[in-house]
Amino acid sequence: MVAETTVATGLDHLNAPTDEIVLTIDSLKKYYGMGGGFAFFGDKQELKAVDDISFHIRRGETFGLVGESGCGKTTTAKTVLGLESPTAGTISFEGQDISTMDRVGKKNFRSNVQAVFQDPWSSLNPRMRVRSIVGEPLEIATSMTKKQIADRVGDLLTEVGLNPYQANLYPHEFSGGQRQRIGIARSLSLNPELIILDEPVSALDVSIRAQIMNLLVDLQKEHNLSYLLIAHNLATVRYMCHRVGVMYLGKIVEHGDTDPLFDNALHPYTKALISAALPSHPDIVREEIILPGEVPSPINPPSGCTFNPRCPMKIGDLCEQLPPKLADEEEGHTVSCHLYSNSLEAARAQDGGAAAISAEPELAAAE
């Protein structure tokens, strides 16, 4: 279970997003073919890293993906960035399917969608000076002169809280937090619309995490940036995100606005994650839900609800046989679990034979 720090509440410190949708992920799947196995008999094994997920991100909004290690967060990010090709589903940027973009469209997309990764020690080339690291995207993608690039690099370093003279230094001459600032400066160089933040603070000392989170929040306000924030730390997600999707074994099992999701989690898995986090106030007493066992293999996931072997609220055959479907349970709050009537109805509607599976009808009502 995820080790946690205190979870702060309230979104007043965040940017106010617009209604304009920047990124749409629709029914995205990323399966990896596994070598060996029983491919010889036509029974090829697949690892379902991302298994039919959908979400969108608005302009100026941070959407968080949270879940235990291996649930498919980074694979989702890589697929959006074009580093992996989807097995199925579409990714649309500003309304256009990226797989159908022409060369110019793809070039614009690459400028407009940038990334900051977890490890500031390995993500910066140790042999390049900071001015080259931050200026490289400008050299590749623009016709700016050397002088214009040098000026822009100085401005970017200032914007992320560094000093322009530090452009002459190498990455090893900086602390972890400063290196992450360099990575953020580089990601901003082409004025992107969307930045994918994959665990941007988890490799940093706890004492400087808040500084980097606040920098990201401030930069979002300044440039009306959209963020896809990937994290396993709930405190980071709650502090930075407007909306959150909870992933388990390649699927989103619950998503919603940040405060309702944290204050009234619906899915048993989300409840367990939150119960393992420290409460926002010492007077709040919370019983920790310890989940039994490990996350199952995405190569051969359990039938029915993939969470059923660990679920403390499992209903019975129904959970073992019928895969639940995501459905709105409250406005802006969606869950995939048979404990909730809309989700159960959606699952039954998808699988006609499900009516035969026994379940206590009263258990199928929302608690």
Ligand X SMILES: Nc1ncnc2c1ncn2[C@@H]1O[C@H](COP(=O)(O)OP(=O)(O)OP(=O)(O)O)[C@@H](O)[C@H]1O
Interacting residues toward ligand X by CB under 6 A? 32, 47, 49, 69-75, 232, 298
Minimal distance, residue 74 CB to ligand SF4, in Å: 24
Which runs of consecutive H residues, i.e. helices, occur in the chain? 73-80, 103-112, 130-141, 146-159, 176-188, 206-223, 234-240, 258-263, 268-275, 317-321, 341-350
Q: Which of ligand SF4, Mg ion, ligand X, none has residue 325 at its interface (CB below 5 to 8 Å by kind)?
A: none
Q: What residues numbered 319-338 form the site for ligand SF4, per CB under 6 A?
A: 319, 324, 337-338
Structure-block tokens of residue 267:
């899915």
Q: Which residues have C-beta within 8 Å of that of residue 183, sequence separation ≥ 6?
A: 116, 117, 120, 123, 124
Q: What residues numbered 4-43 form the site for ligand SF4, per CB under 6 A?
A: none
315 forms part of the interface with ligand SF4 (CB under 6 A):
yes
Residue from 2, 11, 210, 313 touching ligand SF4 (CB under 6 A): that is: 313
Residue from 62, 216, 307, 359 touching ligand SF4 (CB under 6 A): that is: 307
Distance CA 137, CA 183 (A): 12
User: What phi and psi values does residue 292 have, to the nearest 5 degrees?
Assistant: -75, 150
Q: Which is nearer to Mg ion, 130 or 230 (CB)?
A: 230
Distance CA 309, CA 44 (A): 25
Q: What residues numbered 259-298 form the site for ligand SF4, per CB under 6 A?
A: 267-268
Q: Which of Mg ion, ligand SF4, ligand X, none has residue 315 at its interface (CB below 5 to 8 Å by kind)?
A: ligand SF4
Dihedral sign (CA 292, 298, 301, 307):
positive
Query: Judged by CB under 6 A, how many residues of this single chain contact ligand SF4?
Result: 14
Q: Which is nearer to ligand SF4, 177 or 298 (CB)?
A: 298
Find the part of the chain contacting ligand SF4 (CB under 6 A) among 30-38, 113-121, 237-245, 301-309: 301-309
Residue from 138, 237, 272, 311 touching ligand SF4 (CB under 6 A): that is: 311
305 forms part of the interface with ligand SF4 (CB under 6 A):
yes
- Residues 59-98 vs Mg ion: string with x where CB under 5 A? --------------xx------------------------
Packed helices 176-188 and 206-223: angle between N→C axes, nearest 10 degrees: 20
Q: Which of ligand SF4, Mg ion, ligand X, none has residue 307 at its interface (CB below 5 to 8 Å by kind)?
A: ligand SF4
DSSP 49: E
Q: Which residues have C-beta within 8 Å of that of residue 211, sequence separation ≥ 6?
A: 161, 177
- Extract the runs of DSSP E, i.e. beta strands, from 238-362: 243-248, 251-257, 327-330, 333-335
